Structure 1
């Protein structure tokens, strides 16, 4: 039986990159997947995530969503439940960055990163928990939240002050929710990717940054989106019912070094 058979999942930022990989893998494992993003076309090019899911015989829908808007997040979960009957897994992945240090960060840049990466995650977690407590448990849980954090939630993110601060907040948010809502059978974990090669534009994929990451990562290759997707499947599955409040490193040993 597929690991996520009959589960209903939302993945934010699922048109491209890590979110796309998670959504596609969830669909392969039997979940109905709601792709929540501000645009539907993938930055890598090619077919949309929803088209790929449907071509493989899976179920899903696209929901245009700005997670920094409470009304968008409220509508996202309301419409998901109206379409599929419940919500089992909320994956908070959508995020923005500025590649600016403290002095180079404008108030507008700071506000935008915090609005999406912290307040947006807060909105998604809050609205998901509001839904979870209203529905009956399936197995041991009423619902699961998976927050995509970063290794830069534990160590500094060189040259990107707002992003690093925001990811540290996500790690603590995960712990708080896990502890506060365990009695309600709600599981909350985070995944902290190390260096993952995606189609994301900007400094993350310049040659010097990639060379540094290769030298810094003990495992003899850099990460791929499928590595994060595999961890997200585990945390969404019934195998992980006694795992909560964890910030799971998927980093090729970077933080162990």
Structure 2
């Protein structure tokens, strides 16, 4: 039986990159997947995430969502439940960055990063938990929240001040939700990717940065979206029913070195 048979999942930022990989993997394992993003077109080009899910015989839905807007998040969960009956998994992945240090970061940049990367995650966690509490448990959980954090939430990345601070907040948010709502049978975990090669433009694929990451990562290759998707699948499955409040590193040993 597929690991996520009959489960209903929302994945934010699922049109591209890590969110896309997670959504596709969930669909492969039997989940109905709601793709929540500000744009449906993938950064990498090619077919949309929903088109790929449907072409493979899966079930899904795209809902345009700005997670920094409570009304959008409220509508996202409401539409999901109206269409598919319940919500089992909320994956909070959508995020933005500025690649600026303290002095370079404008108040407007700070506010925008925090509105998506922290407040947006808060909105999605809150609305998902509200829905979970209306449902009877399936297996050992009413619902699962998976937050995509970053190794930059544990150590400083030079010149990426607001992003790093926001990801540190997500690690603590995850712990807080896990402890406060364990009695409600709500599981909450985070995944902290290391260097993952995606189609993201800009500094993420700068040749010098990639060379440094290769030298810094103990494992003999850099990460791929499928590596994060595999971790997200594990945490969404019944195999992880006694795991909550963790920040799972998917980094080829970077943080261990």
* TM-score normalised by length of structure 2: 1.00
CA displacement at 1:252 relative to structure 2? 0.1
Gaps of 5+ in 2: none
Cα distance in structure 1, aligned partners of 2:118 and 2:147: 11
Q: How does 1:73-88 map to 2 (within 5 A)?
A: 73-88=73-88
Cα distance in structure 2, aligned partners of 1:188 and 1:147: 8
Moved over 3 A (4+): none
- Answering whether residue 255 of structure 2 is matched by residue 247 of structure 1, we say no
Partner of 1:2: 2
Cα distance in structure 2, aligned partners of 1:49 and 1:158: 33
Cα distance in structure 1, aligned partners of 2:212 and 2:139: 44
Partner of 1:24: 24
- Answering whether residue 140 of structure 2 is matched by residue 144 of structure 1, we say no
Gaps of 5+ in 1: none
Q: Do the aligned partners of 1:157 and 1:163 also contact (CA within 8 Å) in 2?
A: no
Q: Which digits, 9 at most, give the CA deviation of each residue in 1:36-69, with x for residues without a partner? A: 0000000000000000000000000000000000
CA displacement at 1:114 relative to structure 2? 0.1
- Answering whether residue 214 of structure 2 is matched by residue 183 of structure 1, we say no
Cα distance in structure 1, aligned partners of 2:98 and 2:126: 26
Partner of 1:219: 219
SS of residue paired to 1:36: strand
Partner of 1:71: 71
Partner of 2:231: 231
CA displacement at 1:157 relative to structure 2? 1.8
CA displacement at 1:113 relative to structure 2? 0.2
Partner of 2:60: 60
Partner of 2:196: 196
Q: Which digits, 9 at most, give the CA deviation of each residue in 1:194-252, with x for residues without a partner? A: 00000111111000000000000000000000000000000000000000000000000
CA displacement at 1:174 relative to structure 2? 0.1
CA displacement at 1:158 relative to structure 2? 1.4
* TM-score normalised by length of structure 1: 1.00
Partner of 2:171: 171
Cα distance in structure 1, aligned partners of 2:162 and 2:198: 21
Cα distance in structure 2, aligned partners of 1:196 and 1:97: 15
Q: Which digits, 9 at most, give the CA deviation of each residue in 1:126-179, with x for residues without a partner? A: 000000011100011000000000001100021110000000000000000000
Alpha-carbon RMSD across the aligned residues, in angstroms, is 0.3
